[in-house]
Amino acid sequence: MKLVVVGLGQCGDRIADEFARLNRRARSQRGVEIITGAFAVNTDAADLSGLQTIKADYQHRILIGTRRTGGHGVGKINELGAEIAKEDSDKIIDAIRTAQRFFETDAFLLVAGAAGGTGSGGIPIVAQMIRERYVSKPIYALTILPFAHEEETEERTVYNSATCLKSLYPEVDAVFLADNQRYIGKDFSLTNNLSKINTLIVDSFYNLLCAGEETKRKHIGARTVDAGDIIQTLVGWTVIGYGKSPLPIFRWFPFFGRNFIKKSIETHRGIRAMDEAISELSAKCIPSDSGRALYLVSAPPRDMNMDLVKDLGNYLKDIAPEAVIRNGDYPRQKSLIDVTLILSELNIVDKVKGYYNKASGVVHELKGRRDEFERKLREIEEASKDLPSLI
First vs last C-alpha separation in the chain: 68
Cα-Cα-Cα-Cα dihedral sign, residues 255, 260, 265, 270: positive
Q: Are 331 and 298 in contact (CB under 8 A)?
A: yes
Tell me what pLDDT residue 238 has. Answer: 97
The predicted structure's pLDDT at residue 255 = 45
Which CATH code is given to the segment(s) 217-344? 3.30.1330.20
**Residue-level pLDDT at 228:** 92
Q: What is the CATH number of domain 3-203?
A: 3.40.50.1440
Residue ranges of the chain with pLDDT lower than 70?
185-191, 249-266, 333, 363-371, 373
pLDDT at 246: 85
> How far is the CA of 366 from the CAs of 82, 116, 318, 354, in angstroms?
20, 18, 46, 18
**Are 51 and 13 spatial neighbours (Cβ–Cβ below 8 Å)?**
yes
To 5 degrees, how large is the angle CA 309–CA 312–CA 318?
A: 140
Rounded-to-integer distance, Cα 74 and Cα 57, Å: 23
The pLDDT score that the predictor gives to residue 325 is: 95
CATH code 3.40.50.1440 region(s) in the chain: 3-203
> Quick count: other Cβ atoms within 10 Å of Cβ 363?
14
In this structure, the strands spanning 3-8 and 107-113 are parallel
Closest by CA to 113, choosing from 178, 68, 159, 60, is 178
Q: Where in the chain is the domain with CATH 3.30.1330.20?
A: 217-344
pLDDT of residue 36: 93
The total of other beta-carbon atoms located within 10 Å of residue 376's CB is 10
User: Element (H or E) spanning 110, and its range?
Assistant: strand 107-113
Name the burial class of residue 221, with classes exposed (0-12), middle (13-18) and buried (19+) by CB atoms within 10 angstroms of its CB: buried
Query: What's the confidence (pLDDT) of residue 84?
Result: 94
